Structure 1
Amino acid sequence: MTYCVGMKLNRGLVFMSDTRTNAGVDNISVFKKMFQWEVAGERSITLMTAGNLATTQAVVSLLNERALPAEERGTLSIVEAPSMFQVARLVGETLREVIADQSGIEGPQADSTFGATLILGGQVRGGEPRMFLIYPEGNFVESCADTSFFQIGETKYGKPILVRAYDPEMRFEEAVKLLLLSFDSTLKANLSVGMPFDLHLYETDTFRHGQIRRIEQDDAFFAEISSGWGEKLREAFDTLPDFSLD
Structure 2
Amino acid sequence: MTSAEFMSEQAVREDLAAVYRLIARFGMDDLIHTHVSARLPQEPDKLLINRYGDLFREVTPESLLVIDHDGDQVRGTQAPINTAGIVIHTAIHAARPDAMCVVHTHTVAGVAVSCLDEGLLPLNQTALLFHGRVSYHAFEGIALDRDEQVRLVADLGTNNTMILRNHGLLTVGRSVGEAFGLMYNLEQACKMQLAAMAAGAKLVIPPESVQARTVGQYDADPDGAAGLEWQALRRLAAMAF
Larger-Rg structure? 1
Normalized per residue, the structure richer in strand is 1
Normalized per residue, the structure richer in helix is 2
Per the normalisation by structure 1, the TM-score is 0.31
Higher relative contact order (CA 8 A, sep 6+): 1
Per the normalisation by structure 2, the TM-score is 0.31
